[in-house]
Structure 1
Amino acid sequence: MQDQLPVLPSDGETIAELRELYRAAESRAARLRLLSVSARELAEATSISLDASVDRCAQRLAFFVGCRGGKVLHCATPLVETQSLGPDTIPIKAPGGQSAPIAWLIIDGFKGLDGIRDEEDRDVFRMELDLIGLTIDRITKERERAGLVAKLQEREKTLGKLLDQIFTAQEEERRRVSHELHDGVAQTATALVRILESPGAGNNGGEGAINPAEVARSLVSELRRVIAGLRPTLLDDLGLVPALQALAESLEDEGYEVSQILTRSDLRLSPLVETAVFRVAQEAVTNIRKHAGGPCDVTVQALFDTDPLILRIEDCGAGPSEETRKAGALAGNNVGIEVMKERMAAIGGSLEWGAGPECGVYVEARFPAQV
Structure 2
Amino acid sequence: MAELRDLYRSAEARAARLRLLVEASRDLSTAEDNTLSDILQQSAMRAAHFAGSREGVVSIDAETAGIPLIAPGTTDQRVGTLHLSELGSLETLADEEDRQALFLLCQLMASSIQRVAKQQENDFLLQTVQERERRLEHVIGNLFSAQEEERRRVSRDLHDSVAQTAGALFRRLEAVPTDEAISVEERDQLISMSQGLIRELRAVIAGLRPTALDDLGLASALKVMSDQMRTEGFDIFVDVKQDVDWPSGLSTAYYRIAQEALANVRKHAGGPCQVDILLKAEPGAGRWTMAIRDHGVGLRKDEASAQLPGEQVGIEMMKERMLAIGGSLTVSDMHGGGVQVRAEIEGIR
Paired letter, 2:103: R
| TM-score, length of structure 1 as denominator length | 0.78
Query: Does 2:149 align with 1:167?
Result: no
1:15-164 paired onto structure 2 within 5 Å: 16-75=2-61, 80=62, 85-86=64-65, 89-96=66-73, 98-164=75-141
Contact 1:319 1:361 in 2 (8 A): no
Separation (CA, whole Å) in 1 of partners of 2:192 and 2:185: 15
Separation (CA, whole Å) in 2 of partners of 1:305 and 1:93: 43
How far does residue 127 in structure 1 lie from its aligned partner after superposition?
0.5
Which residue does 2:159 correspond to in 1?
A: 182
Separation (CA, whole Å) in 1 of partners of 2:119 and 2:241: 50
Query: Does 2:216 align with 1:238?
Result: yes
Which residue does 1:6 correspond to in 2?
A: none
How far does residue 284 in structure 1 lie from its aligned partner after superposition?
3.6
Q: State the SS of the aligned residue for 2:293.
A: strand
Q: Call closer, same or farther: CA 1:283–1:193 in 2, change over 3 Å.
A: closer
Paired letter, 1:32: L
How far does residue 103 in structure 1 lie from its aligned partner after superposition?
0.7
Q: Call closer, same or farther: CA 1:291–1:341 in 2, change over 3 Å.
A: farther
Contact 2:67 2:88 in 1 (8 A): no
Which residue does 1:316 correspond to in 2?
A: 295
Which residue does 1:195 correspond to in 2?
A: 172
Paired letter, 1:217: Q
Match of 1:261 among 239, 246, 249: 239
Separation (CA, whole Å) in 2 of partners of 1:367 and 1:54: 42
How far does residue 243 in structure 1 lie from its aligned partner after superposition?
1.0
Paired letter, 1:28: R
Q: Call closer, same or farther: CA 1:294–1:133 in 2, change over 3 Å.
A: farther
Which residue does 1:336 correspond to in 2?
A: 318
**Which digits, 9 at most, give the CA deviation of each residue in 1:13-45, with x for residues without a partner?**
x2x222222212211111111111111111111
Structure 1 residue ranges without an equivalent (≥5) = 1-13, 325-332
| TM-score, length of structure 2 as denominator length | 0.83
The higher radius of gyration belongs to: 1
Paired letter, 1:120: E
Q: Call closer, same or farther: CA 1:316–1:71 in 2, change over 3 Å.
A: farther
Q: Which moved more, 1:289-298 or 1:145-154?
A: 289-298
How far does residue 293 in structure 1 lie from its aligned partner after superposition?
5.8
Separation (CA, whole Å) in 2 of partners of 1:53 and 1:192: 87
Aligned residues: 333
Which residue does 2:226 correspond to in 1?
A: 248
How far does residue 319 in structure 1 lie from its aligned partner after superposition?
4.5
Q: State the SS of the aligned residue for 1:102.
A: strand
Q: State the SS of the aligned residue for 1:105.
A: strand
RMSD after superposition: 3.1
Q: Call closer, same or farther: CA 1:119–1:161 in 2, change over 3 Å.
A: same
